[in-house]
Amino acid sequence: MKFRKKPVVIEAIQFTGGAENRHAVLEFTGVAAPNASTIYWRSGTNDHAGELVIRTLEGDLVASPGDWIIRGVVGEIYPCKPHVFDATYEAAD
């Protein structure tokens, strides 16, 4: 059988890694995401800006700068690589 994804509207913010953006992303995600027990910043090395980590029951989901952070249909938070985001989503009215 084949299935088509139902059209849904999601909210998203792009994670760029800068200090102001990190604050905006953490504010966007909030602490009440139903799939996330913890959302935190993991510092990188001199040549690596760092990562946003969303700790879930299924394991850690890691977002690198450039990734989109999506709030799904039931409030869940997860990262999405830019090429997947561009292929899957378009701006809503």
- pTM of the complete model: 0.81
Is 4 a domain residue?
no
Per-residue pLDDT, 52: 86
Is 22 a domain residue?
yes
Is 24 a domain residue?
yes
User: Once rounded to an integer, what is the mean pLDDT over residues 24-39?
Assistant: 75
Domain count, the chain: 1
Collapsing DSSP states into helix, strand and coil, what is residue 53? strand
- Using only the alpha carbons of the chain, give its radius of gyration: 14
- For 32, the domain range is 11-88
Q: How many C-beta atoms surround the C-beta of residue 76 within 10 A?
A: 14
Is 49 a domain residue?
yes
Residue 5 has pLDDT above 90, yes or no: no
Residue type, 26: L
Between vectors from CA 19 to CA 32 and to CA 22, what angle results, nearest 5°? 25
Query: Each residue of 42-77: pLDDT tens digit?
Result: 776 655 567 888 888 788 999 988 999 999 888 888
